[in-house]
Structure 1
Amino acid sequence: MIAFALHGGAGAKKGRDYSAEIANMREIAEAARLSLRAGAKALDVVTETVRKLEDSGLYVAGRGASPNQAGHYELDASLMNGADQTCGSVTALQGFANPILVARAVMEKTPHVMLAGDGAALFANEQGFAPIADEADYFTRAGRFESNHPPGTLAHGTVGCVCLDSHGNLASATSTAGVFGKMAGRVGDTPIIGAGTWADGQTAVSCTGQGEYFMRVNASAQLAFRHAGGQTLSDSADTVLQQIVDMDGEGGLIALNRNGEVIAPFRSQGMKRAWFSGDSEIISEAF
């Protein structure tokens, strides 16, 4: 059994055309299915999927980032391997195109889980990641299109992926540039293992939305623990998302389990997402 889901963020707004994103997500999902059928590992698939989403410039992650209040591009990412629960994370990373690849290197080449700010950038440079030559030319500022979010709120965007491979292993990865207009140094749920990203032997989760609320309820780990305790995958997700709604937050998530069950619930206007399970049709949609 193989299963897969990705998301392009819960920032989708009614009235905007997301045909480019829907086509892009479908193409990435199709490539992931081919890789999984060929025996690829879940961790490699989620890493490559998120890298493609970062590079597309269509989402508020990687190339699609917008600057913070100080005019800097600070990127966050994390990933987790369900087989042994190893994980890696970077936060407030400046100057590099693919935070998910740096997070993978943190997991595999350091004794740490998270590196931040200047330390993350120094590590990325030491590992041979090429710095961005011209940020003004590189970043697409995808968030500039999301101009119709409610007054007084910060719009948001994230990308993520969860996967079950043919070996029965799960993995999760998430990447973001954070909310638009964020303060310098702001960190949301994306790089926090257990808040925005989680994978263990039974469940994999990637979250998107107003990160402060997902952090307050430890969203991704809570969902996995509820499912491990006997709740269905859907009920576990509904419980967690309702807690966020009750705090006046919004967002969504993708999750799957080792049986190949896939869910993509959201409590927001929309959430860009694509998924399949086994040989099922690939679904790619925003609302």
Structure 2
Amino acid sequence: MPRPILIVHGGAGTIPEERHAAAVEGCRRAVQAGWSILEAGGFALDAVEAAVRVLEDDPTFNAGRGSVRTRAGTVEMDALIMEGTTLRAGAVAAVRRVRNPILLARAVMERTPHVLLVGPAAEALAELLELPMADDAELAAPRDRLGEELPRPEGSVNLREILAQALSGPMDTVGAAAMDAAGRLAAAVSTGGMSNKWPGRVGDSALIGCGAYADDRSGAAVATGWGETLMRVVIAKTACDFMALGLSASGAVTAAIRLLEERVNGRGGLIAIDREGRIGIAHNTPHMSWAWTDGRVLEAGIRAPE
């Protein structure tokens, strides 16, 4: 049986140099939190949840307490968690006031008969379960991370202008994939979405197979980047399908990113673990922060290793 292993990412995009150290250190802390569960013989599902919670609580990243604002000035977040043994999954989209969307996604999976809940109804479940709540002021990304606030289009709606503004802002997401001592795989992802996005927009992160996918028979993969293009190639499931065909995790994420670029001119990144316990990291953006450990080594960086 492969050794337990955990990999996390803090998002792909153009990360200013002054944020590199914080992004790498945040990923390192997240992987350590998840590894403490695997090291004690815990489940992969618990490990990815713990890792993503650390990233959601770190305002360095576009998730939880570091989420970007919509065109209306609000915070709307998406999250997904999935385990690879029975293919159970839970997700939330366009949620506000929830401090840790990954906790709510897991609650959807384990406490309801559903897979995806959205908006105020999902928030009502969070309140019913007494999950930690927060307002926009606590959840919104600090201004010093975003730099100058993006102008919001006035007057007539110009969707191309909105898209251009959204793509010029942070697109980073956070995520984790793990294999435990029993060979079980799991994946989790959380995001504040695109900066200046249209309210109600849902990206890849809440959608099974797009933002993340886990299947013990193939592997686990977690995506980040321009969600509209990631969805069009169902990138996380595509990477897992490549692993099912015999590619290693590294080969699978490289092939999936190549497909993303060639088919839809997309940009983003992927992390993965295959059923042999090997990891993969790939992106076609200037940067992607990541960290991984198998208990013997812990590595972290801001670009995919050569």
TM-score (norm 1): 0.93
Equivalent of residue 203 in structure 1, options 199, 219, 223:
219
Equivalent of residue 46 in structure 2, options 44, 47, 65:
44
Following superposition, the deviation at residue 34 of structure 1 comes to 2.8
Which ranges of structure 2 fall in alignment gaps of 5 or more residues?
151-163
Following superposition, the deviation at residue 139 of structure 1 comes to 2.6
Distance 1:207 1:102, change over 3 A: same
TM-score (norm 2): 0.87
Following superposition, the deviation at residue 12 of structure 1 comes to 4.0
Following superposition, the deviation at residue 20 of structure 1 comes to 2.0
Q: How does 1:4-153 map to 2 (within 5 A)?
A: 4-13=6-15, 15-132=17-134, 134-136=135-137, 138-142=138-142, 145-146=145-146, 153=167
Aligned position for 2:235: 219
Q: Deviations over 1:74-112 (max 9, x none)?
A: 010001011111000000001111100000000001111
**Matched residues in 2 for 1:164 and 1:183: separation?**
36
Aligned position for 2:157: none
Task: List 4+ stretches of structure 1 deviating above 6 A.
Answer: none
**Matched residues in 1 for 2:125 and 2:16: separation?**
40
**Matched residues in 1 for 2:226 and 2:251: separation?**
21
Q: Which amino acid aligns with 2:207?
A: I
* 3-state SS, counterpart of residue 16 of structure 1: helix
Matched, 1:229 2:240: no
Q: Which amino acid aligns with 2:269?
A: G
Following superposition, the deviation at residue 205 of structure 1 comes to 0.7
Taking only aligned residues, the RMSD between alpha carbons, in angstroms, comes to 1.9
Aligned position for 1:168: 183
Distance 1:154 1:192, change over 3 A: farther
* 3-state SS, counterpart of residue 265 of structure 1: strand
Following superposition, the deviation at residue 143 of structure 1 comes to 7.5
Alpha carbons 1:43, 1:172 under 8 Å: kept: yes
Identical aligned pairs, as a percentage? Answer: 35
Q: How does 1:187-198 map to 2 (within 5 A)?
A: 187-198=202-213
**Matched residues in 2 for 1:15 and 1:81: separation?**
35
**Matched residues in 1 for 2:265 and 2:44: separation?**
34
Aligned position for 1:253: 270
